[in-house]
């Protein structure tokens, strides 16, 4: 894990189940709809996931590639600067 004033980079040591990644994705999407600052984090992970296939069953609002990134890379990138 790396953290500084700009954000938090979490690297997970164990595989992430698709259902959990989809839940984290939904939470981030809900936060963005509430106009919180999580859009930077989401966009960052979305850009890194451009070559991944969407996860089936993911929230349609995000297209399913951010949970695919969380599963494939075992990472969450949360930026708030």
What confidence score (pLDDT) does residue 31 get?
87
The whole-number pLDDT of residue 81 equals 56
Residue 61 DSSP symbol:
T
pLDDT at 41: 85
DSSP three-state, residue 37? coil
Give the whole-angstrom CA distance, residue 16 versus residue 4.
24
Among 3-12, 21-30, 38-47, 69-78, the minimum mean pLDDT is found in 3-12
Q: Which residue has the higher pLDDT, 81 or 31?
A: 31
Burial class (CB in 10 A: 0-12, 13-18, 19+), 73: middle
């Amino acid at each position: 894990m790396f953290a500084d004033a700009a954000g938090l980079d979490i690297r997970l040591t164990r595989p992430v189940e698709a259902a959990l990644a989809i839940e984290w994705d939904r939470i981030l999407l809900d936060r963005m709809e509430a106009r919180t600052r999580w859009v930077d984090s989401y966009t960052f992970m979305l850009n890194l996931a451009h070559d991944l296939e969407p996860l089936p069953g993911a929230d349609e609002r995000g297209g399913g590639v951010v949970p695919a990134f969380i599963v494939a890379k075992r990472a969450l990138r949360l930026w708030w600067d």
